[in-house]
Structure 1
Amino acid sequence: MSTPDQQSRSVKTLGVKLEPDVHAQLSFIAQLREGTITDEILIAIRAHIERAKDDPELRSRAEEVQAEIEREAAARRQAISTLFAAPGGTPDETNSSTTRSRQRSKEAPSES
């Protein structure tokens, strides 16, 4: 079982402002269910997330965002590849030649 300190690091706290009548209703529902307002809020949030998973418009937007992330990642990979490529060489050749150069410089006797 986790300690309260461990639990506080594994959850996010959210403050929610409620109108008095909404708070009263939610409090009464929690009381009838022998739970807490927090329990009721969590039940509602979980139900909302489940409905969102079945929302075709939201799914479409998520796919668009995922595609954009992939495009950006590919562009960044290309930028890194181009940055470290030797003139006329491939990035792999550059990395291996750079490694060989570093190894040679470590092996060379130092001049004092």
Structure 2
Amino acid sequence: MSEPRNGNVKTLGIKLPDVLHAQFTLVAQLDGISLGDAALRAVEQYVASKRAESDFAARAKAALEEIEREAANRRGAIQGLFGDNPPAALEPSDSPPTRGRRKSGDANG
């Protein structure tokens, strides 16, 4: 995978133990590549190995479904702020904790 030409890149800073850094530097030098290129190759190999795992697709699908649930809840909350549409009902585990003053009849109030 080559570096994107449109500049959409992220910088990653990592801490390595001295011995591993020395080995990594030596391997990159022997291959005639920069540490950045070597790190990029390592990340590409890691991603490829994870994709090959038998349960990866199921875990990715579950993560996507969670993202969609969170987005729907946030969309409903924003729509509710403007009164266009009432917010969609939150799932019980997703409802925010209630805050505020207790009613005067509450036992703890």
Shorter-chain TM-score tier: 0.5 to 0.7
Displacement, 1:19?
Answer: 1.2
Share of identical aligned residues, percent? 36
How far did 1:44 drift?
Answer: 0.7
Match for residue 8 of structure 2? 10
Return the TM-score normalized by structure 2.
0.54
**1:25, 1:32 → 2: CA distance?**
10
Match of 1:28 in 2: 26
Cα distance, 1:71–1:19 mapped onto 2, change above 3 Å: closer
Deviations along 1:33-65, one digit per CA (max 9) or x if unpaired, are 111111111111000011111223232121112
TM-score by length of 1: 0.53
Q: Which has the larger radius of gyration?
A: 1
1:15 alignment partner AA: G
Higher relative contact order (CA 8 A, sep 6+): 2
Structure-2 change in CA distance of 1:10 and 1:69 (3 Å) = closer
TM-aligned CA deviation for residue 67 of structure 1: 2.5
Question: How many residues are treated as equivalent by the alignment?
Answer: 78
| Counterpart in the other structure of 2:99 | none
Q: What CA distance in whole angstroms lies between the structure 2 residues aligned with 1:20 and 1:73?
A: 42
- Are positions 1:38 and 2:30 aligned together? no
Counterpart-to-counterpart distance in 1, 2:23 and 2:62: 39
Structure 2 residue aligned with 1:62: 60
Which residue is equivalent to 2:17?
19
Cα distance in 2, alignment partners of residues 60 and 47 from structure 1: 20
Q: What is the RMSD of the two structures over their aligned residues, measured on CA atoms? A: 2.8
Q: Which runs of 5+ in 2 are unaligned?
A: 86-109
Q: Secondary structure at the match of 1:16?
A: coil
